[in-house]
Amino acid sequence: MTTTAAGRDPALGHEDMYPMLLDSIQEHAVVLLDVSGRVLMWNAGAERLKGYTADEIVGRDFACFFPPDDVARGRPAEVLRLAAEQGRHEVTGMRVRKDGSRFLARLTFTALRGPDGSLRGFSEFSHDLNESKEAGARYRGLLEAAPDAMVVVDGSGEIVMLNLQAEKQFGYHRDELVGQPVTNIIPAGFSERLVTDALRTPADALTQEIGTGLELVGCRKSGVEFPIEIMLSPLASAEEILVTAAIRDISVRKASESQLAQTEAKYRGLLEAAPDAIVAVGEQGEILLLNAQAERQFGYRREELVGQQITQIVPEGFAERLAADGLRSPADALAQRIGTGIELTGRRKDNSEFPIEIMLSPLESDEGVVVTAAIRDISVRKAAEANLLVKLGELQRSNEELGQFAYIASHDLQEPLRMVSSYTQLLSKRYSGRLDADADEFIAFAVDGANRMQRLIQDLLSVSRVATKGRELEPTASDDALGDAMRNLQAAIDESGAVVTHDPLPPVLADRAQLTQLFQNLVGNAIKYQAGGTPTVHVSATGDELEGWTFSVQDNGLGIAPEYFERIFGMFQRLHKRDEFEGTGIGLAICKKIAERHGGSISVESVKGAGSTFRFTMTAVGGAS
C-alpha cells in the first residue's frame, strides 16, 4: 500500500485508520487486487454491494464478480490488462453478488505501481448504478418517464434494468427480472435483433422511428403471450454492449388490425363470390379493381386491367352511362334493380365480343365518385331469347299451316266426295226398285255415308273458317247480331213455337257474323234440345265497359249432366243418339272457337232436366282502347 509523501507525516501513526476510512465508504465497493486479480482487501461497501464478507472473499479471484459469460470471454483478464496499459479503466457492466443476483455497476480499475513503476496490483472502485445518486437517478428518471415499457439488456442478453411500465406489462417484480435472460419475457427474436442492432450506429438506431419497430411476442409471468413492438437503441456511453428496448403492447392495435383485415377479407370474399363480374371504375373511367369473374369473363389478368380505361373491355355506352350515373344519387342507383340494367357489348382480350348487361352504382369515396359495375355475360340469355323467337315463329307458322291444312284438306276432300255422293244419289234415283232389295239397301247406306261425310267436312270447314275467314273485331251492337240469328232461326222458332226473349244487350267488340253464329248456335240448341214442351229462351248480359260483358243464354230444355260440361265444347261430341237429335256435334265447338277468337271464354251451367244456361264473355267496346 502506497501513501503520498505529503500525507505521510500527518498521518504517521494513523495507518491503522486506513481500513476504517475505507470501511466508511458505504456507497462504493473498494477492493484491492493483486496483479493476478486476487482479492487482497475488501471494504464494508464491497461487503454490502456484493454480499461477501472480507474473510470469505480475500484470496479469491475477482472473476467471481463477473457473469459467467464475461468470464468465458476472458473479460476479467481483459479488464486488468486494459487497466495496466492505460493506468485506469472504467467500465459499466453487470456484477454478480454472492447470492448469484446481479446488478449494473460502474467500475473503475486503477493500476497500482511501485516507485520503480512495477505493477503491484489494482484497485477496483465500483458502485451500483441503480442506486447512483447522479447518473443512475438521471437514467432511472428517464426510464420511468418513458411511456413504454423500457428494458435495458446487456450484451449477453441479460436484463440489467427495467422501468415500472415493464414491471406492469410483464407482471414481474423488478428483482425477479434483473439479471435474468431477456428471453424470459421475450422468448424469440430479441437476441437476433440484438446482434444486428449491435452493428448499427446509435444514429441509425435513432432514425428508426417508433412504429417501424420489430413486432414480437411478449410473455407475461402468467405465461400469457401478447403482441409487442420493440424499438432497440444501443446505449452510447456504455463500453460494454447495453441495449435499451422500448416495448409497446400492441394487443389493441393488432386486434383492430386483424378485425380490419377480417372485414376486408370478408368484402373481398363477397366480391370474389359474386356471380357477376364486378369492376370498380374511377371518375376518369379508369379501372380501379375487379374480381376473378371479371378476369375470367374478359380474359385478362387483374394487373393487365387495373389502371386501364373501361373502354378497353366495354367499348361503348359505359362512359355515357357513367356521366349520367354521376348525376344520380346512390339511393337512385340502388333503386335500379338487377335485371333492369343496360345491355351493352363487352370485349375480351382476344377482341371477341359478347353481350353484357351492366348495373352501375356510384359510391362516394375519398378518391371521388367510384362507380361499381356489375357486369353479367348474357350470351346464354340472348341466345335463349333468340332461340325463343325462332321457336315462336316456327310455332306460329306451324299453327297457320295446320289451320291452312285443315281448310285445304276439308275443301279438297269435298271434290271426290261430291262425285261419290252425286253418283250414289244418281244410282239411287235411276235404279231404286229396279235391282233387288239388297242393292237398294246398299245404295241407301252409301248415300247416307256420303251425306254424313259431307256434313262433317262442312262442319270442319266451319270451324277452321272461324280463324281463317274471321273479320276484324269492331264495335258491334249485340242485339243486332241476336236479331240476325233469330231471323236465321225463324223456321225452327215457328215450328217449335219457341218464345225467345232478351234484355237490352250492350255493344261489344266483335266480328258480327261470328257473334251472330254464336247466338244462332246457342239459341238453336236451346230450341232443339227439348223434351216436347214449349221452348223458352232468354238472352241477357251482365258486366260493364271496364271488365267486359258476360252473355247468358238460358233455356228450359233437357239440361246437361255435370260430367259433360267440358266435353260438349269438343269437336264432334254428341250426347244423344243420331235418331233422337240430328247434328254432328260441331255447334258448341264452333261457339268455343268464336268466343276464344274474341278473347273470351264459354261455359255452361245446368241441371239435368231443368234447363241450361250457357255463358260467354265478350270484350267491351271501350275495353280495347
What is the closest distance, in whole angstroms, from the C-beta atom of residue 568 to other proteins in the complex? 27
In the structure grid, which three cell numbers stand for residue 228, read together?
Answer: 409487442
As measured in angstroms, the least distance from the Cβ of 407 to other proteins is: 11
The amino acid sitting at 496 is S
CA atoms within 13 A on the CB side of 338: 6
When the beta carbons of 517 and 617 are compared against other proteins, the nearer one is 517
CB of 424 to other proteins, least distance (A): 9
Smallest distance from other proteins to CB 609, Å: 38
Give the C-alpha distances (Å, rounded to integers) separating 54 from 13, 29, 101, 108, 547.
24, 12, 19, 20, 123
Q: How far is the CB of 422 from other proteins (least distance, A)?
A: 4
Closer of 323 and 444 to other proteins (Cβ)? 444
Name the nearest CA neighbour of 41 among 89, 100, 112, 104: 112
Closer residue to other proteins, CB minimum distance, 249 or 511: 511
| Residue 423 beta carbon to other proteins: minimum distance, rounded to whole angstroms | 7
Closer by beta carbon to other proteins, 292 or else 417: 417
- Is 439:447 a contact under the CB 8 Å cutoff? no
**Nearer to other proteins among residue 206 and residue 426 (C-beta):** 426
Minimum separation from the CB atom of position 382 to other proteins (A): 42
Strand partners, 565: none
Beta bridge partners of 153: 159, 243
Would you say 92 or 421 has its CB closer to other proteins? 421
* Residue with Cβ nearer other proteins (390 or 408): 408
Q: Return the half-sphere exposure (C-beta side, CA atoms, 13 A cut-off) of residue 350.
A: 5
Backbone angles phi, psi at 345, to 5 degrees: -120, 130
DSSP state letter for 579: T
Closest distance of CB 429 from other proteins, Å = 7
**Cβ atoms 89, 82 nearer than 8 A:** yes
Of the pair 154, 511, the CB lying nearest other proteins is at: 511
For other proteins, which is the closer residue by CB, 180 or 414?
414
Of 106, 126, 116, the closest CA to residue 33 belongs to: 126
φ/ψ (deg, to 5) at 561: -70, 145
Question: At its nearest, how many Å lie between other proteins and the CB of residue 578?
Answer: 19
Length of the chain: 625
Report DSSP state, residue 329: -
Q: Is there a contact between 278 and 375 (Cβ–Cβ < 8 Å)?
A: yes
Find the shortest distance in angstroms from Cβ 443 to other proteins.
Answer: 13
Kindly tell me which of 469 and 576 has the beta carbon lying closer to other proteins: 469
Helix axes 478-488, 512-528, angle to 10 degrees: 50
In the β-sheet with 499-502, what is the strand arrangement from edge to edge? 499-502, 536-544, 548-555, 612-618, 602-606
CA distance 137 to 134: 5
Which residues contact other proteins (rule: CB under 8 A)? 414-415, 417-419, 421-423, 425-426, 429, 454
